[in-house]
Amino acid sequence: MTLLRIPRPRAVSAPHPARGIRLVATGMLVAMAVLFITARATVHLHPAIGFVQAFAEAAMVGGLADWFAVTALFRHPMGLPIPHTAIIPRNKDRIGDTLALFLRDNFLTPAVVARRMRGMDVAAAAGRFLASPSEGDGRLREGASRLVADILEALDQERLGGMVKGAIGQRLRAINIGPLAGQAIEAAMRDGRHAPVMDGIIHWADRTLEANEHLIRQMVQERAGKVLRWTGLDENLANAILSGLRKMLADMAADPGHSLRLKAEEGMAKLAFDLQFDLEMQAKVAKIRDEIVDNPAMQRWIEGMWEQARAGLLRAVRDPGKAMAGRLGEALRQLGGTLQQEARLRLVINRFVRRAAVGATANYGDAIVRLVSDTVRGWDAGTVTSRLENAVGRDLQYIRVNGTLVGGLVGLAIHTVDTFF
């Protein structure tokens, strides 16, 4: 079996979203350094310059400290292997395990899923969408349509068609036709619906007799003796036979209580009984059923039926608006209205969805957790660092900015206290 291979993500050199604020933070640090050097060189000119020097010195220290702290999260500062730096790359596997445990404990437990699903009315939401699909998200509908169409076109049609034919054949072979046919015959006789069938058989026999009259005459003539042929009695015998058969059929058609007709009905009743309760008769019917299913003509019909269904599905998903405008759309809108109006039906569907979600969580929750953990473990350190830095890097750079400003204000305050007190 060929599984879908998910490529391992690689670190890319895309523009960093925090690059702008990083330049600001670095620029402030450089500016504080220049300001400190300038103030230190000119502090003898005026006492107020000492306050500027104190502010710049403390701001430079605060900015450097925060730069070191932020950088140490993702890499070694200046490439030096300082202990307890490059925290995220070194703890990549532990981060993946912690994230997986967080998902399991807070999202992928049956109790949590059941509690969250209890407040969701999935059936009502589906009903509103089906009743008014034009008011829903068109992108969602179009995206789902394209996805279904791509899946149908991407599948191996020869193998899929063979699977469909095999499944239909198995379903047909699994049907015990004998009892079904026996019950149908019994119900038809009980309601008197078999009478038109019997009349049709009688009329068919009358027409067949008329069309093959010459064969009967020929058969009587061939079997008659020379004396009958010499006296011409063979013709009279043939006429008598034909007249008797016609009269018998006419009487059967006119009299529902005719003895032969009742005999035929008795045979139908026995056939219905045997089809329902006679194992030998059911085996004969099953053999006929299997021969019909295995017939090449029947296989071609099943294949054609699948191809028509597939073509219809493709037409529907490629043009969901047109499909929703036809009978299928009307049926779906009626279903949506029913879902909105029938509280009991919504309750049943919501209970089923909730149980399905809880069951899927119980059965596959650990697999999802392992998938998250194994995926993070499979990433290289650069990928983890890049993704986390893209997620929180902007806020971390603001920490550098704030550290520079707060450090400068603290230094200014200390210098002020030292000067006047």
Q: In the predicted model, what is the mean pLDDT of the chain?
A: 78
Predicted confidence (pLDDT) per residue in 98-114, tens digit: 877 777 777 777 887 88
Query: What pLDDT, on a 0 to 100 scale, did the predictor assign at position 324?
Result: 57
Total H helices, total E strands in the chain: 20, 0
Is the per-residue pLDDT at 326 higher than 70?
no
Amino acid at 250: A
DSSP string for 130-147? HH-GGGS-HHHHHHHHHH
Token pair for 340? 């909105």
Sign of dihedral through CA atoms 125, 129, 135, 139? positive
Cα distances from 396 to residues 23, 68, 221, 390, in angstroms, run 13, 11, 115, 10
Q: Tell me which range, 9-23, 179-193, 359-373, is most confidently predicted by mean pLDDT.
A: 179-193
pLDDT at 143: 59
List of residues 6+ apart from 42 with CB closer than 8 A: 49
pLDDT at residue number 172: 83
In one-letter notation, the amino acid at residue 145 is S
Distance CA 358, CA 364 (A): 10
DSSP class of residue 108 equals S
Q: How confident is the model at residue 140 (pLDDT cuts 50, 70, 90)?
A: low
pLDDT, one tens digit per residue, over 171-205 is 888 888 888 888 988 888 888 887 888 888 888 88
